[in-house]
Amino acid sequence: MNQRQYAVSPGTRKKITIDEIAKEAFVSRSVVSRVLNDRPNVSPEARLRVLEAIKRFDYRPDSKARGLATHRTKEICTIIPRRTDGVLATGYWPLVLLGIAERSAHRGYFQTMSAISNPSEAEFMARIVSESRFDGFVLVRREVTRLVAAAIVERDVPAVLIGHDPEFDSLSSVDVDNRKGARAATEHLVDLGHMRIGLILGPDQLLETTDRKAGYLEVLESRNIPIRRSACTLG
């Protein structure tokens, strides 16, 4: 089977189209589309010819056109709270955001980050949600959820919350069991023979603070250890 070869320099290479890929692979345009979207109903031989043509001509489909056809943008948005002592001011959250970006890239998704802090910005983000500009959202911390979750739930947009918000139980979430963790840490110190155990907490309004304090106090009460309220300190 004869195949045409184009000898062009990198500087003059024109952008090849899906129709040209179809012509090179001796298949229809729809077959190329099914291969690009990893769909069934393509023979192994035809799929191989299409993949070889794509590789040979370094074909990259137009992302906007592909998004219109598949209703997917291959882009997700991570929303963080904007506070001077918030996500970007700690050593923990930047590592989480880096992990989100790395896993997104690994799965072929571009990751965008946006920071919001007040209701007016929440209204803007609600418009972004309604426009289907992103395939999904990652919400960082409960304060973000309170601003945008209602719009996401109403429009049934894929979203995951890092943390947990009892008011939005329908949202998928990834969280640490802070109560159980604080309980395990306190029990460990008590088992070592320590009786004066301090607790350093974050801001009092955070759910994590409430849960960690509860786990700590549960152990002291169950072991009949005197509770010194001054031992619970906000960081």
Task: Give the CA distances from residue 61 to residues 43, 54, 71, 114, in Å, rounded to whole numbers and listed in that order.
Answer: 21, 10, 15, 27
Quick check: 100 and 78 in contact, CB under 8 A? yes
pLDDT at residue 193, as a whole number: 93
As a whole number of angstroms, the distance between CA 84 and CA 161 comes to 21
* Residue 30: predicted pLDDT: 87
Could you tell me where the DSSP H helices lie in 29-177? 29-36, 44-56, 63-70, 93-106, 119-130, 142-155
The pTM (predicted TM-score) of the whole model is 0.59
What pLDDT does 10 receive?
Answer: 44
Q: Specify the pLDDT at position 186.
A: 95
* Domains of the chain, earliest start first: 18-69 (1.10.260.40), 72-174 (3.40.50.2300), 178-234 (3.40.50.2300)
- Position 63 scores a pLDDT of 53
Identify the bridge partners of residue 138 per DSSP, sorted by sequence position.
78, 160
pLDDT recorded at residue 26: 92
> Which residue in 95, 135, 152, 87 sits closest to 115, CA to CA?
87
Residue 84, classified by CB atoms within 10 Å of its CB into exposed (0-12), middle (13-18) or buried (19+), is: exposed
Low-confidence ranges of the chain (pLDDT < 50): 1-12, 68-70
- DSSP letter (8 states) at residue 51: H
Distance (Å) of CA 98 to CA 4, 103, 135, 156, 227 = 44, 9, 19, 26, 40
